[in-house]
Amino acid sequence: MKQESGALLSAIKLDRESRRSISVQLYMALREIILSGGLRAGERLPATRVLAKETGVSRTTVIDAVDRLVSEGMVVSRIGAGTFVSDTLDSQRPAASAMVDPAPQDAKPRLSGTIASGEERYARRTWLPHEARAFITALPALDAFPMAHWARLSARHFRGGRGAVMGYGQPKGLEALRRAIATHLGALKGIRCNPEQIFVTCGAQQAFSLIGKLFLNGGDKVWIENPGASGARNALLSEGADLVPVDIDHEGIVVADGLAKAPGFRLAFVTPSHQQPLGHVMSLQRRFELLQAVEAAQALIIEDDYDGEFYYGNAPQPALYSTDPAGRTIYVGTFSKTLFPSLRLGFLLVPERMVDAFERMFQSWASGPATATQAVVADFMDEGHFATHVRLMRRLYKARYDALMEAGRTLPDTMRLQETSSGFHTLADLASGIDEQAVVTQAAEKGVIVAPLSRYCMQPIERNGLVIGFGSAAPEDIKRGIDVLRDLPALRENWSG
Ligand SMILES: Cc1ncc(COP(=O)(O)O)c(C=O)c1O
């Protein structure tokens, strides 16, 4: 027994650098030993003195760890006899056979028809970024976020009344946040709306899904920009959409192409303020064409305004929503760029005639983000931190954009950066003959991330290019990133000039 417990204890690894206390680590290690059968029901734990000696920690620390096991019911203390693994552990633990999946390990689960039939068309999103560096897309300047204000507001929220802090929140979103969003949309884009028309969601992707759930029948034709946003593509596929890739030119979605391919469409997904990923602003002419096509087909529009706050000219691009008198456009916004993506916070602005339908959906089953998150964001907006942060970030992204364009002048002729007037990504055109994927791979080997344009395409297009994010990296990193790209062999191979 002595030897056995010695072997058991030698399996305990404590990390003094960890943010977890030693007593919690010890508690977790002992728990793991018990649950994996290293100590069985009724067996005695080594004495606290032995545990302390073998693991090199104080007895107080061991007692604290054992107390946690006692209060959890995992072990019981008997005065004068020691501490034993609880008998209930064996009597109540599910039988081994019930814990093993009876299906053969390689048997695939039977998927719903919608998911199975769309499987080939999903964009894989394993590349979603979390670490700032050149030239990651979709990540804001995490280094410039005012963490101190955020922490203060979070702490203040948790000191509030328990019902407000811990109870079920309002299904369509916290009223204070919906009011703040309505005010923000008025100030940013001159959109006049009532907070009742705002529904708070877990990011833009959930908003796209909810629109699909509410309005799509399986197999309905949905126009999707090609190239276009992969997240929206996936969300709408999951709701049974039959996606129709529609061409993009410098004026935005080519409505004539959509009409030729699917005149009887139900929904069109567009990014009019800043086409994702090509960066064009939808022309007024195109906006009217789209609205007419939508009216004729009795269809709807999703307007995804994912980075509308970050414009470098005098004014932001107008919202399609405001030009649509028939109330067929649903506007979707996100806090993933203005604040940070892990919040999972976005919103829908729906035409008045749709409020009841969305209301019913949110009250019945759609549930939004944590109340705490919503309350902190509402305070952040009400106290002016949001407007200040957006203003500062507009300046910072412009500076990072300028650094990119300046450094980009030294790139070889095979790679040309496209100018942009908003957001924090732009396109780099590659000369024909240059292998997009080879550039991506060689850049990644040197620690620089660029996204191939083909990743955004449901159907291949003639254009060859890379999407370059410049929001999350400091100007020095941007410059270093360009230095790496400039020297890639793939930018010189197979090109005759
Ligand atoms: C086109 C587009 N829309 C919306 C979003 C934001 O999505 P979410 O709010 O779910 O993070 C992104 C994120 O990169 C995007 O690229």
Its pTM stands at 0.89
Cα angle, residue 197 at apex, residues 195 and 201 outer, rounded to 5°: 95
Confidence of residue 2 (pLDDT cuts 50, 70, 90): very low
Number of domains present in the structure of the chain: 3
Q: Kindly report each contact of residues 6-15 with a partner whose C-beta sits within 8 Å and lies 24 or more positions away, as own/partner.
A: 6/54, 8/33, 8/38, 8/39, 8/46, 9/46, 9/50, 9/51, 9/54, 9/55, 10/54, 11/38, 12/55, 14/55, 14/56, 14/57
Is residue 370 situated within a structural domain? yes
Same domain, 452 and 365: no
Residue 229 C-alpha to ligand 1 middle, in angstroms? 8
Q: Is the CB of 234 under 6 A from ligand 1?
A: no
Q: What is the mean pLDDT of residues 170-184?
A: 97
Binned at pLDDT 50, 70 and 90, residue 99 comes out as: low
pLDDT of 235 > 80? The answer is yes
Do 378 and 396 fall into the same domain? no
Other Cβ atoms less than 10 A from the Cβ of 158: the count is: 12
Give residue 96's pLDDT: 56
Strands 267-270 and 300-304: what pairing?
Answer: parallel
Query: Is any atom of ligand 1 closer than 6 Å to the C-beta of 271?
Result: yes
- The verdict on 363 and 476 lying in the same domain is no
In a domain, 181, yes or no: yes
Beta bridge partners of 189: none
CATH number, domain of 472, equals: 3.90.1150.10
Q: Clarify whether residues 428 and 458 are in a common domain.
A: yes
CB-based burial, 124-147: b 16+ in 10 Å, e otherwise: eeeeeeeebbbbbbbbbbeeeeee
Using the mean position of ligand 1's atoms as its centre, give its distance from the Cα of residue 308 in Å. Answer: 12
List pLDDT tens digits, range 60-70: 999 999 999 99
Cα 244 to ligand 1 centroid, rounded to whole Å: 20
The pLDDT confidence band at residue 37, using thresholds 50, 70 and 90, is confident
Do 365 and 400 share a domain, yes or no?
no
Higher pLDDT, 360 or 130: 360
**304, 455, 456: residue to mutate for ligand 1 pocket, most atoms within 8 A of CB:** 304
Other CB atoms within a 10 A radius of the CB of residue 246 amount to: 27
Interhelix angle 48-55/59-72, rounded to 10 degrees, is: 120
Q: Which of 384, 416, 445 is the last residue of a domain?
A: 384
Q: What is the pLDDT of residue 497?
A: 57
Q: How confident is the model at residue 495 (pLDDT cuts 50, 70, 90)?
A: low
Tell the residue nearest (CA) to atom 5 of ligand 1. 306
User: Whose Cα sits closest to atom 1 in ligand 1?
Assistant: 229
Output the CA torsion sign for 217, 223, 226, 228. negative
Instruction: Kindly give the number of the ligand 1 atom that is closest to the alpha carbon of 206.
Output: 10
Residues 65 and 152 in one domain: no
Mean pLDDT for the stretch of residues 280-293: 96
Residues 306 and 222 in one domain: yes
Last residue of a domain, one of 46, 63, 92: 92
Ligand 1 neighbour 138 (Cβ under 6 A): yes
DSSP string, 115-144: HHHHGGGPPP-TT---S--TB-SS---GGG
Cβ contacts of residue 241 below 8 Å, gap of 6+? Answer: 212, 216, 220, 221, 222, 267
pLDDT at 462: 92
Q: What is the pLDDT of residue 273?
A: 95
Which residue has 């009876």 as its token pair? 102
334-373 pLDDT, tens per residue? Answer: 999 999 999 999 999 999 999 999 999 999 987 899 999 9
Core vs surface per residue 280-299: b (16+ CB within 10 A) or e? bbbeeebbebbbebbeebeb
Q: Does residue 94 have a pLDDT over 80?
A: no
In a domain, 127, yes or no: no
Overall average pLDDT of the 246-256 stretch: 98
Residue 28 has pLDDT above 50, yes or no: yes
Rounded CA gap, 447 and 213, in Å? 40
> What is the pLDDT, as a whole number, of residue 114?
87
159 lies in the same domain as 32: no
Reported as a pLDDT band with limits 50, 70 and 90, residue 3 is very low
Residues 6+ apart with CB under 8 A from 452: 436, 437, 439, 440, 465, 466, 467
The reply to whether 31 falls in a domain is yes
Q: For ligand 1, is residue 334 a contact (CB within 6 Å)?
A: yes
Nearest C-alpha neighbor of 182 from the set 317, 336, 318, 348: 348
pLDDT at 5: 61
Is there a contact between 181 and 226 (Cβ–Cβ < 8 Å)?
A: no
Cα 209 to ligand 1 centre (Å): 13
Give me the mean pLDDT over the 56-85 stretch. Answer: 94
Residue count (the chain): 497
In a domain, 115, yes or no: no
Shared domain check, 397 and 362: no
- Mean pLDDT of the 284-299 span: 98
Percent of the chain with pLDDT over 90: 81
Task: Supply the mean pLDDT for the chain.
Answer: 92
Confidence label for 213 from pLDDT (cuts 50, 70 and 90): very high
In-domain check, residue 101: no
Q: Which of 109-118, 135-144, 374-383, 391-400 comes out lowest in average pLDDT?
A: 109-118
Q: Which of the four pLDDT bands, split at 50, 70 and 90, describes residue 10? A: confident
Question: Which domain-ending residue is among 337, 366, 384?
Answer: 384
376 and 273: one domain? yes
CATH number at residue 78: 1.10.10.10
Helix (H, G, I), strand (E, B) or coil at 162: helix
- Residue 269, in any domain of the structure: yes
Residue-level pLDDT at 1: 41
At which residue do the structure tokens 């004014």 appear?
315
Residues 330 and 375 in one domain: yes
Domain presence at residue 122: no
Atom of ligand 1 nearest to the CA of 345: 9
Contact present, 389 and 145 (Cβ < 8 Å):
yes
Q: In whole angstroms, what is the distance from residue 363 CA to residue 367 CA?
A: 8
Kind of pairing, strands 451-452 and 329-334? unpaired
What secondary structure letter does DSSP report for 284? H
Separation of 170 CA from ligand 1 center, angstroms? 24
Protein residue with its CA nearest to atom 3 in ligand 1: 306
Half-sphere exposure of 105 (CA within 13 A, CB side): 1
Give the pLDDT of residue 441: 96
Q: Is the pLDDT of residue 100 over 60?
A: no
Contacts of 184 (CB under 8 A, 6+ apart): 381, 386, 387
Ligand 1 mean position, distance from CA 66 (Å): 47
Domain limits for position 49: 2-92
- What is the pLDDT, as a whole number, of residue 494? 63
pLDDT of residue 57: 95
Same domain, 72 and 55: yes
Best mutation site among 136, 205, 282, 344 for ligand 1 pocket (most ligand atoms within 8 Å of CB): 205
